[in-house]
Amino acid sequence: MANLFPSKNVSGVFAQGGSEVFGKSFYWTSTEFNASGAYMIRVSDSLVLNAEVKSSSTVYHRPIRRVAKGS
């Protein structure tokens, strides 16, 4: 989990705002911790937590797609 964002290629708003675009909220990753929980990340400082119950949590979901260099 330490290397969630290996790509330095960013576009648009991310190039201008960096991790601040996400604010201080936690977001789900796509990596499950166990059957009922997944890892969460706070992008502003890269803090990663686990074991939240997905079905009753108020953690945000935000799809993230890696942009290939030159796109």
**Rounded distance, CA 33 to CA 39, Å?**
6
**The pLDDT of residue 20:** 56
* Other beta carbons less than 10 A from residue 41's beta carbon: 21
Residue 71: inside a domain: no
pTM: 0.45
**Rounded distance, CA 28 to CA 49, Å?**
10
Which portions of the chain are predicted below pLDDT 50? 1
**The pLDDT of residue 14:** 53
Residue 4: inside a domain: no
Residue 29: inside a domain: yes
**Maximum distance among all alpha carbons in the chain?**
40
Dihedral angle at the C-alpha atoms of 15, 22, 32, 49, nearest 10 degrees? 120
**The pLDDT of residue 67:** 62
**The pLDDT of residue 37:** 79
38: enclosing H helix or E strand: strand 37-42
Which structural domain, as residue segments, surrounds residue 58? Answer: 23-65
Domains contained in the chain, number: 1
Residue 57: inside a domain: yes
